[in-house]
Homo-oligomer: A and B are copies of this chain.
Amino acid sequence: MSKPLFDTLAIIGPGLIGSSIMRAARAQGAVRSIVTSSRSPETRARVVALGIADKVVATNAEAVQDADLVIVCVPVGVCGAVAQEIAPHLKTGAIVSDVGSVKASIVRDMGPHLPDTVHFVPAHPVAGTEHSGPDAGFAELFENRWCILTPPEGTDKEAVDRLSAFWTLLGANVEIMTPEHHDLVLAVTSHLPHLIAYTIVGTADELETVTRSEVLKFSAGGFRDFTRIAASDPTMWRDIFLANKDAVLEMLGRFNEDVSALTKAIRHGDGDALFEQFTRTRAIRRGIIDAGQDTPDADFGRPHGHDD
């Protein structure tokens, strides 16, 4: 157990990410006490039952009043309103952060509401699953994953260092970049993949020539890999696409060009072009495994056989 980095941590929105931070922070002794707030009585009751916070309160104002570190863990589209709501109650010197999957819009929406007496250091842990809510979280979620900080220019260096130390203690590797670059990087490594997955799952479900039952039965041919991320939370993803429109449209344009090129190769029976493209992409998988960002096990290490 290390010496706590903060006295009181406030988590606003104890969902998948918020509850994972609470679990990891407690497991690592990163803070002395944890308070969390949720608008819904059901979520509060689950958090109490799980015993993952020291205090569970109904209002965000109450949650932040004694906190040294406040992390807003709600959908991107709600972050601005939460910032406005908590602003008058923040402790002088507190660090205010978030976990939103988009960063430029967060800086724009939250920043103006926050007083000069606090340090605003936006963050995005690039880790998650397709599940939601406090029961879905776990302490190991951030281990060996990256957490990107996007401090606005002029942010207090010590505050950035303290938040970095916090995420490092939770097992993450920290990287710092501008909000705009973050949004471009995530547009390709996360937002475009989700959009494509949502699309193809929809396409499969609308065919007249192939039934839904056939799609389900024969999904092990590859399709099922797409359904995982297409099962992610609709509110979260609606907000992300609305907030990162320009970068996503840019990546979609590139993707469409590349689809056209491969379509042409298929139409013309150009086996060499297909072979060349399919060979090139293997190296990327190898790189991801070498970078410790995926398991080398076949099929993601999915269970096979009777215990499927």
Contacts and interface: CB of A to CB of B under 8 A. Distances in A.
Interface string A239-262: 101100100110110111011001
Interface stretch (A37-45, A88-96, A136-144): A136-144
Contact of A227 (B207, B242, B279, B281): B281
A274 B237 CA distance: 8
A209 B246 CA distance: 14
A287 B211 CA distance: 13
A176 to B, nearest CB: 13
- Contact residues of A: prevailing secondary structure: helix
A198 B281 contact: yes
A87 interface: no
Interface in A180-230: 184-186, 188-207, 209-210, 212, 214-230
A190 B222 contact: yes
B304 A141 contact: yes
Contacts of A305: 140, 143-144, 171
A69 B184 CA distance: 55
B298 A255 contact: no
Contacts of A192: 200, 203
**How large, as a class, is the contact surface on chain A?**
35 or more
A258 B219 contact: no
A140 to B, nearest CB: 3
A35 to B, nearest CB: 26
A284 B146 contact: no
A2 interface: no
17 contacts: A140-B304, A144-B306, A146-B218, A185-B210, A188-B207, A192-B200, A193-B225, A193-B226, A199-B255, A201-B281, A201-B285, A203-B254, A219-B293, A225-B228, A231-B286, A241-B274, A249-B266
Interface of A: 101, 126-131, 136, 138, 140-141, 143-146, 148, 171, 173, 175, 184-186, 188-207, 209-210, 212, 214-232, 234-235, 237-239, 241-242, 245, 248-249, 251-252, 254-256, 258-259, 262-263, 266-267, 269, 271, 274-275, 277-282, 284-288, 290-295, 297-306, 308
Given A234-B274, A234-B278, 17 more contacts: A146-B218, A148-B218, A186-B218, A189-B210, A197-B225, A198-B277, A198-B281, A201-B285, A202-B277, A205-B284, A219-B294, A222-B229, A227-B288, A228-B294, A242-B269, A242-B271, A295-B302
Closest 6 CB pairs of A and B: A190-B221, A140-B305, A234-B278, A231-B285, A129-B298, A193-B222
